[in-house]
Amino acid sequence: MIRKNSEYPLQPPRERGTGRAFALALVMHALLGFFLYHGIQWQNSTPEGAEAELWTEVPNSAIPRPVTPPPVPVAPAPPVRDEQADIALQEKKRQQQEAAREAQLAEQQRQQKLKEQQEAEAKRQQQLAADQAAQLAAQKAAKLKQQQQQQQADKLKQQQLAEQQKQQQVKDQQEQQQKQAAADAQKKADEQKAAKAKAQAEAAAQAKKQLDAERRARLAQMQGMAGPPGSTGNGLGKSGTGSGSGGNAASPGYADKVRRIVRPNIVWSGETEGLETVIAVRCAPTGTLLDATVSRSSGNPAWDAAALRAVQRSNPMPLDVNGKTPESFLITLRPAG
């Protein structure tokens, strides 16, 4: 972290060991001045001659003793310098000191500049590291946000899929229930239809059986009425031709009785204009219907069938005033309208 000190001016950092280096430099300059001074004094004085003898320990052997060299001649003393030479030497010394100080100052400046460069490089590295860390943190946050969004989208998708599956299951269950209900209804309808058909078949069989019994009884009665062979009498009545009238023996109000019984049994929802059907009926004296056929058609087979069914449903036919039903008669039927 870089702190900005606006209260203090920028100053070069203090280097460690600067005081010691400065003290050593002073000591060196002092020694240099001391040696220069004594060197000048030594050159101004006449050196005295000196003699020296060299002794060395010679081992006990047969080696011959070396010859002692002659003494080295002493060089003559240089001439005494004048005052200008001293001034020049002092000026040279001063220039050397100035050069040393400038070199030291240049070195300090170079060290300071190098330190500033190092600090700037360190700051730049720190800033670069901070930028990289911030960029990495931003990328990590963006990736985490993207992952969270993806997770939320996946969760929402799973919820929608589960809801769709649930709705599909409910729909399938409803369809299955509807199919089961339709199957049950169809089964019930089939059972009712089969029961109705069975009942109708049983009723038809019973009616046929009864009709056959009555026909046999009627036939036996007719045979009994015919008398023995060779007889000239005829006991059969004639058939009537009037609408709803029973033969010659039918009373005038018998036709109305037949209409009141047959008309409620007519089931017809088609057209009614111009339809008229004549049904020929044969009955037993007890009113049991022996036979019913279409004597004259209306031109509409559907209406003819409806009229014939109405007559068949009206079994047995009503009794006349004499307590018997006419043997045969015609019934003229028209749609109610």
The residue among 99 and 230 whose pLDDT is bigger is 99
Binning pLDDT at 50, 70 and 90, where does residue 241 land?
Answer: very low
Question: 287: which DSSP letter?
Answer: S
Question: 299: which DSSP letter?
Answer: S
**79-97 mean pLDDT:** 80
pLDDT of residue 70: 60
pLDDT of residue 210: 61
**Beta carbons within 8 Å of 224's beta carbon, 6+ residues apart:** none
Indicate whether 152 pLDDT > 50. yes
pLDDT of residue 48: 56
Q: Are 123 and 1 in contact (CB under 8 A)?
A: no
Using DSSP, state whether 31 is helix, strand or coil. helix
Q: HEC states along 120-183? A: HHHHHHHHHHHHHHHHHHHHHHHHHHHHHHHHHHHHHHHHHHHHHHHHHHHHHHHHHHHHHHHH
Binning pLDDT at 50, 70 and 90, where does residue 292 land?
Answer: very high
The residue among 47 and 108 whose pLDDT is bigger is 108
Indicate whether 221 pLDDT > 90. no
- Single-letter residue type at 180: Q
* 315-318, long-range: CB < 8 A, 24+ apart: 315/207, 315/288, 315/289, 316/283, 316/286, 316/287, 316/288, 316/289, 317/258, 317/261, 317/281, 317/283, 317/287, 317/288, 317/289, 318/254, 318/257, 318/258, 318/261, 318/287
Burial class (CB in 10 A: 0-12, 13-18, 19+), 137: exposed
| Lowest-confidence pick of 38-52, 228-242, 323-337 | 228-242
**205-233 mean pLDDT:** 50
- Single-letter residue type at 262: V
Alpha carbons within 13 A on the beta-carbon side of 94: 6
Binning pLDDT at 50, 70 and 90, where does residue 231 land?
Answer: very low
| Lowest-confidence pick of 72-86, 109-123, 259-273 | 72-86
**Beta carbons within 8 Å of 270's beta carbon, 6+ residues apart:** 300, 302, 303, 335
**Range from 74-83, 224-233, 294-303 that averages highest in pLDDT:** 294-303
Binning pLDDT at 50, 70 and 90, where does residue 120 land?
Answer: very high
Binning pLDDT at 50, 70 and 90, where does residue 112 land?
Answer: very high
pLDDT of residue 126: 92
What is the value of pTM for the model shown? 0.30
pLDDT of residue 71: 63
- Please state, rounded to an integer, the average pLDDT across all residues of the chain: 76
CA-to-CA separations, 294 to 134, 277, 288, 307, in angstroms, rounded: 108, 7, 18, 9
Which residue, 318, 224, 232, 326, is CA-closest to 280?
A: 326
Binning pLDDT at 50, 70 and 90, where does residue 309 land?
Answer: very high
pLDDT of residue 114: 92
**Range from 18-32, 36-50, 79-93, 195-209 that averages highest in pLDDT:** 18-32
The residue among 333 and 192 whose pLDDT is bigger is 333
Residue whose structure tokens are 């730049």: 124
Q: Are 266 and 337 in contact (CB under 8 A)?
A: no
pLDDT of residue 222: 45
pLDDT of residue 242: 35
Burial class (CB in 10 A: 0-12, 13-18, 19+), 152: exposed
> Domains of the chain by range and CATH?
254-333 (3.30.1150.10)
**89-98 mean pLDDT:** 89
Indicate whether 218 pLDDT > 60. no
**Distinct helix (H) and strand (E) counts, the chain:** 4, 3
Task: Return the percentage of the chain with pLDDT > 90, whole number.
Answer: 28
Indicate whether 288 pLDDT > 50. yes
Binning pLDDT at 50, 70 and 90, where does residue 269 land?
Answer: confident
